Chains A and B, each alone.
Chain A
Amino acid sequence: MARISPRSYDVRMMFAMGVYVAVFLAVWPQVRGTADPFVKTVCALVPVLPLLYVIWCIAQRVLHSDELEQRTHLIGIGVAAAAVALVSIVAGFLAAAGLLSLDTTSVVLVWIFPLLLLVYGAARSYAARRYGSLGCEDERLPLHQRLLYSAAMTAFMALIVFLRSGAPDVVAVVLAICAAQLLCAAWFGFKRRRERVTPP
């Protein structure tokens, strides 16, 4: 089977994460608003569907990667597994000691998968750079474009939270994340433009 190009992989992942955010925001309020256990179960598990597609994309990418890519995937997965194990054991001990409520524990569990993806991506990218991937970055979607897309999703989340609950502290946190993403996008966009004007 043909290899998945890095650009195509980025587009698929961004699409899947966009669908995940949209589905989560659309369905999640129904979970607490219904008493029917069947509807509750379906609504709680629907956001898992786009994540299954994300897992399928990652599996396809790893299966069709060459030997050097497999090495960098292994480094990424190893570091991500260690980070997630650490976070879950810390959260587990705190919950067992009664310092984290059941509600907080469930929030921690929901963030395990994004944390895994984030650390995996960062560690894999670091390992790939050590093997000289810097000269091959034109194969991927530019980082500032990916960050802009992510910032747009975060802003959309802030808007929905504001319209639904109006909780100012939650909206402020989400907007701060959005602002950080925009700043990073501006920085990487500026850096990319400067490198194009004066190649290293």
Chain B
Amino acid sequence: MNNQVRSLREQRGWSQGELAERLDVSRQTVNAIETNKYDPSLPLAFRIARLFRLSIESIFEPGKD
């Protein structure tokens, strides 16, 4: 799965640590999501979408497989 989390975060001028704090997750988790090493659960994906005031599908899109 690909996502726009890094660019959305950078647009707002937040560090990974700040985003992690807002989502109540570790910075490692934010880093893993941004580098597509980890796909978040549906509840966390909803939290991310709510934080950026966007829909889930505009942030996350399925990968090639």
A residues contacting B by CB (< 8 A) are: 3, 65-69, 128, 130-133, 135-136, 139
Residue pair A69, B41 in contact (C-beta under 8 Å): no
Apart from A68-B38, A133-B28: 6 A-B pairs, beta carbons within 8 A: A3-B24, A67-B29, A68-B29, A132-B31, A133-B31, A139-B26
Closest 3 CB pairs of A and B: A66-B25, A68-B29, A131-B32
Is B35 an interface position by the 8 A CB rule? yes
Any chain A CB within 8 A of the CB of B44?
yes
Size of B's binding interface in residues, CB under 8 A: 15
Chain A residue at smallest Cβ distance from B23 = A66
A69 pairs with B32, CB closer than 8 A:
no
Is B27 an interface position by the 8 A CB rule? yes
Report A71 CB to chain B, min CB distance, Å: 8
For residue B41, which residues in chain A have a CB less than 8 angstroms away from its CB?
67
Cα–Cα distance between A186 and B38 once the two chains are bound (Å): 33
**Do A66 and B24 form a contact, CB below 8 Å, given A130-B37, A131-B38, A132-B37?**
yes
Known A68-B32, A131-B32; judge A136-B27 contact (CB<8 A): yes
Would you give the shortest CB distance from A167 to chain B, in whole angstroms?
A: 44
Q: Which residues of A contact B38 (CB under 8 A)?
A: 68, 131
Note all chain B residues with C-beta closer than 8 A to A69. 26, 28-29
A-B contact pairs, 16 of them (CB 8 A): A3-B24, A66-B24, A66-B25, A67-B40, A67-B41, A68-B25, A68-B26, A68-B28, A68-B38, A69-B26, A69-B28, A131-B28, A131-B38, A132-B32, A136-B16, A136-B27
